[in-house]
Amino acid sequence: MVRMGIKLIAFDLDGVLIDGCGSWREVHNGLGTAEQAEKHANEYREGKINFDEWARKDASLWQGVEIGRIREILYKVELMPGIEKTIPRLKERYKMGIISGGLQIMADRIKDKFKMDYAVGNSLLVKDGRVYGVDQLVDFHGKGKVLEAVARDNGVALDECAVVGDFINDIPMFEIAGFRIAFNPKSDEIVEMADEVIYEKDLTRILPFFEVI
């Protein structure tokens, strides 16, 4: 199905534009902090801490690490197959960007590489070149509010927005957008809300839905 009238496309980052285990997890793996991070993840899953507390605890594991080291780790993560063709083609017709609970460094990498219009993620706080915390802008349930703000800033109605996501934290965007694509979805809930579902690591598969082939 082609959804007519779309003017802006919002992409999730991890699992959609990049092919990896997620920007937070990639940094933990690269710095050897994955085991400690899993304890924080369990605390969040068990309801002992909220998402903001989880993010602060996770970022605290990187306190004192040079930001260049984190950038180096993230820039090695593979991009999603098909992105090199897909984003430039869509950019010819639509405003495009990223809304992610992942790290702003990775979101900016993709935004700058493909000259996308916006990228909203979570920024690591840095002093004297080293990490000391996190500025948590996009929490687990906050993507819908971010999409509303992005649409408003670009003079676009919500039913003129399309979203491409893969996980339950994308549901707040799916609830308000005019067109929803689940890309290699990781939950049944996101599938149920999607207008189209793609089960393949090939971003070019979304092009026909926007009349771009």
Query: φ and ψ at 47, to 5 degrees?
Result: 80, 15
Tell me, what amino acid is at 62?
A: W
Of 12, 58, 166, 170, catalytic: 12
- Report the C-alpha gap between 208 and 213 in whole angstroms: 6
For residue 163, the cross-strand partners are: 10, 180
Is residue 14 annotated as a catalytic residue, yes or no?
yes
- Please state, in angstroms and as integers, the Cα–Cα distance from residue 113 to each residue in 116, 132, 205, following that order: 8, 27, 21
Token digits for 86? 């897909």
Question: Which member of 14, 58, 166, 170 is catalytic?
Answer: 14
E strand or H helix that includes residue 77: none
What amino acid is encoded at 121 in this protein? G
Q: What proportions of the chain, in percent to the nearest 5, are helix, strand and coil?
A: 45, 20, 35
**Three-state DSSP state, 101:** strand
Which residue numbers are catalytic?
12, 14
